[in-house]
Amino acid sequence: MANAGPSTSASLEKDVSVDNMTSRDYYADSYAHFGIHEEMLKDSVRTGSYRSAIVNNAHLFKGKTVLDVGCGTGILSMFAAKAGAKHVVGIDMSNIIDQATKIIEANGFKDTITLVKGKLEDVPLPMQEFDIIISEWMGYFLLYESMLDTVLLARDRYLKPGGLIFPDTATLYLAAIEDADYKEEKINFWDNVYGFDYSCIKDIALREPLVDTVDLKAVVTDPCLVKHIDLLTAKKEDLTFTAPFTLNPTRDDYAHAFLAWFDISFECTHTKVKFSTGPHAKYTHWKQTVFYTPETLTLYQGRPVKGRLSCAPNERNPRDLDILVTYQTNDEPEVEVHYKMY
């Protein structure tokens, strides 16, 4: 499940000593912390959308078997059970599943929901086929630390022919923003730190995308769709991609960064449910992702910014992302910037 930090579930085994822990271990056990789950549950757009998609389409769940991938505290499993599912299996690697077991029992779903602790790739499930897969797999920038690859594996291994996935569609968008004040504060700050030159850090700061909320007034171009994912047909290889973009300025202005967000849709539902994490929509814990550019872009209406966005899992840790943005404005030389989300 996604959150303000890591967005997949994993566990830190008890026999791993603190001295031997890696960043992956710390990440893996982060889902055992209640604050992360509190933030996700309080995200009314996130949790309310899943509830509407499941409970308001109860006819799709009645008498069906459901697999909840990355079940966390079990909220989606309980929505499915409430909607009339015959049986729900929730799987999660995080130690939070120990509390989820108590939550499931306290709410009277002990006989309807079975929780499995472990990695989906490695542990056997009590059922070999499911009618529906539900999962809240999204991370920042949609794919950062997401567990979409695990959901696709679950689909290929366990979903019945003609089965449903909740949600089943994700779309990533890109735009440009005017953000001079914050860029000055975040990036140019390093030019003079109490009279000292820290500019060697400037390039590192620039290449680390910022996750934050952006005012819609700061957006200076129309959005451009850069990635569409159909979970029923997508392959793991599709998560490494290069996509062209064309950003049409909505006014003459300057741009200091590119902005990314994603939309999620439950297309299989009769009562349609969609939500957006963009600057035009209600706040979500995913916020938006800001990619600052080395130089200020001068924008004119009628002169689009054209470029390419490439995204690939990091070789050392596939939950991290290597992102390359190449762009050109006003017939000036093409600029290429490498970003890392880790």
Annotated active-site positions, please? 136, 145
The counts of H helices and E strands in the chain are 9, 15
**What's the start-to-end Cα distance of the chain, in Å?**
17
Amino acid at 335: V
At residue 328, what is the residue type?
Q
Among 292, 308, 260, which residue's Cα sits nearest to residue 178?
Answer: 292
Residue 91 β-bridge partners = 69, 116
Residue 271 DSSP one-character state: S
Cα-atom radius of gyration of the chain, to the nearest Å? 21
Q: How far is CA 20 from CA 90, 318, 331, in A?
A: 30, 20, 52
- Cα atoms in the Cβ-side hemisphere of radius 13 Å centred on 308: 11
Q: Where are the beta strands (DSSP E) in the chain?
A: 65-69, 87-92, 113-117, 130-135, 159-166, 169-177, 210-212, 224-230, 241-247, 253-266, 273-276, 288-299, 305-313, 321-328, 335-341
